[in-house]
Amino acid sequence: MTGPMGTGAGPKLELRGVKKRFGGKVVLDGVDIAVERGRSLVIIGGSGQGKSVTLKIAIGLMRPDAGKVLVDGRDVTRLGGAARRALATQFGMLFQGAALFDSLSVWENVAFRLVNADRVKRPEARARAVAALGRVGLGPEVADLYPGELSGGMQKRVGLARAVAAEPAILFFDEPTTGLDPINADMINDLIVEQVQRLGCTAVSITHDMVSARKIGDEIAMLHNGQIVWRGPTAEIDDSGNPYVDQFIHGRATGPITGGA
Amino acid sequence: MNPVQAVGRSTLGMARTAGAVALFAGRGVAAALTPPLFLGQLWRQLAQIGYFSLPVVGLTAVFTGAALALNIYTGGGRFNAEQIMPQIVALGITRELGPVLAALMLAGRVSAAIAAEIGAMRATEQIDALRTLSTDPFRYLVAPRLAAAVIVLPLLTVVADIIGIAGGWSVAVASLNFNGALYVKNTWDFLQSWDVVSGLIKSAVFGFIVALMGCYHGYNATGGARGVGRATTHAVVSAAILIFASDYLLTSVFSHK
Ligand SMILES: Nc1ncnc2c1ncn2[C@@H]1O[C@H](COP(=O)(O)OP(=O)(O)OP(=O)(O)O)[C@@H](O)[C@H]1O
Ligand SMILES: [Mg+2]
């Protein structure tokens, strides 16, 4: 298995000319984006612009109609079966709704990959799950609860613990702060930054929460009309000179972006 | 749209669905027959599908056996053939009613539950989450359900056969003046092992259909809670129709034996 830092030079993850349409509707129309090893990229964009689709293609949950996905410079677009499962051991993802398995207890969720894919013995897996819960600020008393018994903020934390439990090389976050109050949102942001630094991993997040984007991103890219219309360091987002970005970060109803989805 | 177009379009649609279901079934079977297997999940499903279906299957069987006995007794009386009622009941239950009724109960109970559970997992991205955790949903979700239903439904059918015949026996002894011991002896002497075995082969196929329809419709559910509701309905209806259709097909194949 590749360690968190991976090997070789070049970007850790790259999308090249990725296109995707559903029926007659073009969602992605040639997305080019690369993330350097150990960097955190945030993709912003309006609702329905295809942020989630971009993330699903990057992690291999969806196949693009055209274009490539490269991990460590290797084309993984068409991997399936065992090769795909092996590649997925490098990935961790926090889903928008946490996507915890509601038939399993909290610790079984966190240790899911350890128990089911890596075949680690349950007592050891449980100990590692409790440790992972500790890192996201949850005590061992939470381990035996079920996801339905947790608040939204706690579910997000458990989802984060599950995503980082197997020490992935790339972490994906789909709208990590959506649906949380500002204080819980900020705690999640802090935890994300902390975990990404601890693991030294590469991170790709999507959000339309600018507070979150500024906090967790080294770089920000904006997706609009199926393409990346701007990309730059987080510090430069306020002086991007890009009318789409300006309209988005200031939340103005008037500008080049016109309603729609 | 003119009628010819409509027929053509729905035929194409059906062919496409049949292809998609066949592909899904193939992936499910392949996952069930090759490692890694999830035995823990299999146990769970065996309990869910099998053990907890015993009461409904048993109740259905006992009443059907009793009603069948009454009907055949009355009908047989028209040409003085009341006395072969035990044999006809045994044949009807083992070859036809035991397998079909157990399967229909399972279609109502299990297809629906599977479709709802997997559909909800789809709607809340739990199926995507499985894949990001290096776990194939066909192995973790579909294969254990298919295997459990194929194993369990024949066992439930054996139970339904026994309880159904017992239902007929109770009516015969309690209100039709049959001799209990003679009833059992007549049934036992008459039944051939193929009567029972052919019913069990059918029920294994029905079990596959029940789980497959639940998994397929749940897995392909779209559109949130409404989609899950739709998936549940489709699972039950399509399982029931396929059970009847394959029942006829299998019976006609078996009757050439
Ligand atoms: N599986 C699918 N089938 C059909 N259409 C889809 C599918 N997934 C996404 N879409 C469509 O693609 C478009 C982009 O969806 P996506 O979920 O990526 O948007 P998003 O940028 O993440 O928006 P939001 O911020 O609201 O989550 C939407 O119009 C959506 O309807
Ligand atoms: Mg989205």
A260 lines ligand 1 (CB under 6 A): no
pLDDT of residue A152 exceeding 90, the answer is no
- pLDDT of amino acid A56: 93
What is residue A3's predicted lDDT score, i.e. its pLDDT? Answer: 43
pLDDT in tens, A25-49: 999 999 999 999 999 999 999 888 9
Does position A261 have pLDDT exceeding 50, yes or no? no
| Nearest ligand to residue A45 Cα | 1
The distance of A220 to chain B (nearest Cα, Å) reads 24
- CB-based contact B201:B246 (threshold 8 Å): no
Contact B134 A117 (CB under 8 A): yes
CB B135 within 8 A of CB A112: yes
* A6 Cα: distance to centroid of ligand 2 (angstroms): 28
Q: Is the CB of A22 under 6 A from ligand 1?
A: yes
Q: Is residue B113 within 8 Å of B53, Cβ to Cβ?
A: no
Residues in chain B predicted with pLDDT less than 50, given as ranges, are none
Tell me which residue has its CA closest to atom 30 in ligand 1: A48
Q: Take residue A39 and report the two structure tokens written for it.
A: 């960097």
Strands A40-44 and A91-94, bridge-based pairing: unpaired
Chain A residues with at least one Cβ partner in B under 8 Å: 56, 59-61, 85-86, 88-89, 91-93, 95-97, 99-103, 112-113, 116-117, 162, 172
Per domain, the residue ranges of chain A are: 1-90+168-253, 100-167
Neighbours of B59 (CB within 10 A): 13
% of chain A with per-residue pLDDT over 90: 57
C-alpha dihedral, B189 to B195 to B200 to B201, nearest 10°? 150
A226 Cβ inside 6 Å of ligand 1: no
For residue A25, the CA-to-ligand 1 centroid distance in Å is: 10
- What was the pLDDT predicted at A260? 54
**Is A136 in a helix, a strand, or coil?**
coil
- pLDDT for the residue numbered B10: 85
Is residue B92 within 8 Å of residue A66, measured between CB atoms? no
Pair of tokens at residue B182: 């003679």
| C-alpha distance from residue B194 to each of A191, B48, B162 (Å) | 65, 29, 16
Among candidates A88, A96, A97 on the partner chain, residue whose Cβ is nearest the Cβ of B132: A88
Span A226-252, pLDDT tens digits: 999 999 999 988 888 888 888 888 888
Ligand 1 centroid to Cα of residue A2, in Å, is: 32
Whole-number Å distance, alpha carbon A114 to ligand 2 midpoint, is: 28
**Least CB–CB distance from A116: residue in B117, B125, B135:** B135
ipTM of this complex prediction, to 2 decimal places: 0.87
For residue A8, what pLDDT is reported? 56
Q: Which of B121, B124, B140 sits opposite A116 (nearest CB)?
A: B140
pLDDT score, position A7: 53
Contact call for residues A51 and A223 (beta carbons, < 8 A): yes
DSSP A28: E
The closest-lying atom of ligand 1 relative to the alpha carbon of residue A62 is 1
Which residues have CB under 8 Å from B74's CB, separation 6+?
A: none
Q: Alpha helices, DSSP H only, in chain B?
A: 3-33, 39-45, 54-77, 85-91, 98-106, 112-123, 126-132, 137, 143-175, 180-190, 193-219, 224-255
How crowded is residue B119: how many other Cβ atoms within 10 Å of its Cβ? 28
The protein residue whose alpha carbon is closest to atom 29 in ligand 1 is A48
- Ligand 1 centroid to Cα of residue B147, in Å, is 35
Regarding the beta carbon of A150 and ligand 1, being less than 6 Å apart is answered: no
β-sheet bridge partners, residue A224 = A227
- pLDDT tens column, A189-238: 998 898 889 889 999 999 988 999 999 999 999 999 999 999 999 998 88
Ligand 1 atom 19: residue of nearest CA: A48
**Domain A1-90+168-253: CATH superfamily, name plus number:** P-loop containing nucleotide triphosphate hydrolases (3.40.50.300)
Tokens for A258, please give them.
Answer: 């016109």
* B213-229 CB burial, b ≥16 within 10 A, e <16: bbbbbbbbbeeeeebbe
- Tell me, what's the pLDDT at B1? 67
Contact between residue A1 and residue A85 where contact means Cβ atoms under 8 Å apart: no
Q: CA–CA separation, B168 vs B93, rounded Å? A: 10
**Whole-angstrom Cα distance, residue A150 to residue A25?**
38
Contact A202, A171 (CB under 8 A): yes
Candidate from A15, A21, A22, A175 with most ligand 1 atoms within 8 A of CB, to mutate:
A22
Supply the mean pLDDT for chain A: 89
Q: What share of chain A is helix, strand, coil (3-state, %, to 5)?
A: 40, 25, 40
Contact B235, B217 (CB under 8 A): yes
Q: From the CA of A43, how far away is ligand 2's center (Å)?
A: 11
- Other CB atoms within a 10 A radius of the CB of residue B238 amount to 21
Angle at B210 between CA B207 and CA B214, to 5 degrees: 145
CB of A3 within 6 A of ligand 1: the answer is no
Contacts of B38 in chain A (CB under 8 A): 116
Q: pLDDT at position A179, please? A: 82
Cβ contacts of B198 within 8 Å, gap of 6 or more: B95, B250, B254
Of all residues in chain A, the one with the smallest CA distance to B133 is A113
**What pLDDT shows up at residue A165?**
86
How near does any CA of chain A get to the CA of B220, in Å?
14
* Contact between residue A4 and residue A200 where contact means Cβ atoms under 8 Å apart: yes
Task: Report whether residue A45 contacts ligand 1, using a CB cutoff of 6 Å.
Answer: yes
What are the residues whose beta carbons fall under 8 Å from the beta carbon of B238, sequence distance 6 or more?
B213, B217
CA R_g for chain A: 18
pLDDT computed for residue A6 by the predictor: 46
